[in-house]
Structure 1
Amino acid sequence: MRRRIISLTVLAALVATALFALPLGLAVMQYYRDDTKAELERAADTVALAVSHELNAGLAPVLPRPDADDDAQVGIYTAGGRLLAGHGPTVAGSAERQAASATVDVVIEQEGEEVVLAVPVLSGSRVTGVVRAARPMSELRLRVVLTWLGMAGLAGAAIGVSWLLARRFTTRLVRPLEELAAAAGRLGDGDFTARSPRAGIPEIDQVGETLDATAARIGETLERERAFSAEASHQLRTPLTGLRLQLEAALETPAADPYAAIRAGIASADRLERTIEDLLALGRERRAPRAELDLGALLEEVRQAGEALLQPQGRALRIVRDDPPPAHVAAAAVRQVLGVLLDNAVTHGRGTVTVVARDAGDALAIDVADEGPDLGETDPFATTPTGHGIGLRLARGLAEAEGGRLRLSRPAPPTFTLLLPAADPPATPCRTGHHA
């Protein structure tokens, strides 16, 4: 890319120089021709004025001393074309003959290797002589060539400066792009902490800021997905534990009806499948309008899952509905939160587990309590080295994603409360008028 930019810059400089130099070179040539004509005309007029009296009187003219800075060769001719004084051919040439004809005031021509200018000397309407001024063509060519060489040198210097500036600005332009490409490469390799440096060029910096924002979003998304995957794997333990306990109970009581154990195992497998589907759906889901929560069906699922977990331990589950309000939340999220609380009560609690759905003003409250020991100042949502708290942390994240809250409402007996925003009651239509 560097080469291409430098080459294009130098090419543009060459084209611009050529477009400028060609007409300027022609103008220089024309200028020197006009300048040579002016100098010859001045020299010829000076001599013509000096010798006009002698020529008009028929006397032999005396060529005046030339100026120090005038190197034109001047000759004086008769009207018939014979050289009287000065420098020039013995016999007049075409320019002198044309000037002697008195049809033109000044005649300039190229004769051989000289530029010749002839002016007539008049006495009234009669031509008494011709003054010839000449310069070598080589002198004119030398002046033109030297000027062209100077122009070529300036053009070369301009192209050289363009090349140097192109290298400098190309480095300034390409280096940020290379660093941006390197940052993009690190991002493609999985380094989401890669950040592109700022170059001070608004367009490149804008691309860098966009790339940095993209890297940050991808990193945050990946981190959330990793955390969700780790916590979700812990969440699968609840239905697996229930299935294992049912199978172990069936093995310990071989006289019991095997079909009942099979049916219970199939029900636990169904709950496991539902848990997997819920977790996958929640992992992909975005916040959107929710349908009204079917609390009755949800509590029935909680009852089935709780009995499967608690009955092998000889413990009971009690579910109470205390006029709970409706709520518009994702059933999958609430199901998983209650599954975590139920598993926590089974694993770390004792005695009867009580689930109460009640009205908490502007919220639907679901309490999950057991008869376990006092939690005291312990933070149940903190992850311990043994892994405790992962499920509760996931449950709290799911509750907050639905606009609710999950908290430890009482440490003794341990009671966790899930608060979900209640649905707005339907508006009562206003009626006007009087009844008859």
Structure 2
Amino acid sequence: MRRRLALLAVATTSLVLIAFLVPLAVLVRTLAAERATAAATTWAQSVATAAALDDPKVLEATVRQASGAGGVPITVFLPGHGFLGAPAPRGPGVELAARGRSITVDTPAGREVLVAVQGGERGTVVVRAFVDAERLRRGVGWAWLVLGLTGLALLLVGITVADRLARSLIRPVGQVAEVSRRLARGDLRARVEPAGPPEIREVGSALNHLAARIRELLAHEREAVADLSHRLRTPVTALRLEADGMRDRDEAERVGRVVDSVERMVDQIIREARRFDREGVPGCDATRVVGERVAFWSALAEDQDRPLRLDLADDPITVGVSEHDLAACVDLLLENVFAHTPDGTPFAVGLTPRRPGGGARLVITDEGPGFAHPDPTGRGVSGGASTGLGLDIARRTAEESGGGLLARTRASGGAEVVVEFGPGPAR
């Protein structure tokens, strides 16, 4: 837009300058030629006055004086074929002036000023003053240079004014675009400071109203989710009471751990629903979180005789996911292994640094039947009795950090889920 306004200013200013400077340049050239012609005419008339006295000596002296002082070649054509002064051809103009008519004739070499003097005893005398082309154009070049520089200065002023005008329009438009991008990234506190023309201020005010309305709707939806999640506390509490009343203490302890996991999940849902705006970029140590979650599930794996192979990196790996989100993601993936494979099925968990760009690569494999659906990551897609949301939630968690998820059935059999998490915040 800024470039287009500058081009529009250049085109408009150029047309105005051409319409103004071209006639002015022609006028300057015409005035220079008229000034030189007028000076030559004055000297020719002074010589013609001397010729009217019909005194050859006075005429000859006047011709020498006019040619020397005026710088214009003066020729006096006498009746017959004689002449005084500078040699010059007796052209058609001279013949016409000899009939008693004073004229000005333009030739390729310059301009002839011919003054006829009648009344002599021998006939008409013609006084010729010649102005060459250089004298006709004297001073025109400098005048055109000044006009050109003036036009260039005016053009630069026009471009500068158009650029300032474009900035005054583009700056508020750019601010509106930046706020729109911030809203798209989830920063619902972003607002526009209305500026610029009334139309752009109106757009900024409308965007602010839209952002406020989105914030209100999300707040309402998240409160509704939090309320629904809070209602789950009652059946969770009932499950805990049932677990506490079991006679088999080992079984009661195992069920209690499961209830604790469900309760943590419900608490996390409530916190996430009530957390309206994320403060900064989330991040955590993936090595520690994955190790803790695998340790939690290893008790159940031992009860079901499932061989577990764990391969964690030795050093901490920071990923761009909050600790709670990463724990929930690992729990969902491990829960799928226990839910969709028979007891005794081996599985493995591996976590390595992601290359390049930082982050982590989490790989969970099992020796079960694999995935029944070609694309198990689709929301609601499930080959069993589950809701089919686990892999989709894990995928969205990975994508929000700048990574992704791949779920497939290996050629050797069994399922493989590869989750790549983006890097954490820069230190």
The normalised TM-score by structure 1 is 0.47
The normalised TM-score by structure 2 is 0.48
Larger C-alpha radius of gyration, 1 or 2?
1
